[in-house]
Amino acid sequence: MSGGPSPQGDYVAAKRHGGLIYTAGMTPRESGRMMFEGPVHSGEIEAHREAVRLACANALRAAEDRLEVGEEIAAVLTMTVYVWAEEGFGAHSKVADFASAYLREQLGDRGICSRCAIGVAGLPGNAPVEIQLVAAL
């Protein structure tokens, strides 16, 4: 590994099988420290842009850490974005748009993927968002 995100439990950050790489769910951590905490509130979606981008960057870095020399990610196939939000929140896809934009910025058309945005009652470390990717070589 080349310094990507470190697991916070008994799992690996990403697993490669054949031509696919599956990442664990990644939260907005830097050097193991949670940088953003608390639920997403209606009317404050923009305030969570950097948290989502950091979680997505961690997921992408975890996938890239599984590449061999000379390989690259051919495509991100799917992304799951878990959003811890206040009761009654309905803009999960708007939160996930920040992650989609990040992947497009980093990978161009290779970063455009299918996705699922899911509202949850809570996330590890009180993270507002957790992101999981499946990428193809």
| Average of per-residue pLDDT across 115-128 | 97
Q: Mean pLDDT across the stretch 97-110? A: 98
Q: Hey, what CATH class is 14-136 in?
A: alpha beta
Nearest to residue 130, comparing CAs of 83, 65, 61?
Answer: 83
For residues 99-116, give the mean pLDDT: 98
What's the pLDDT at 3? 58
13 SS3 class: coil
Q: Does the structure show a pLDDT above 90 at 63?
A: yes
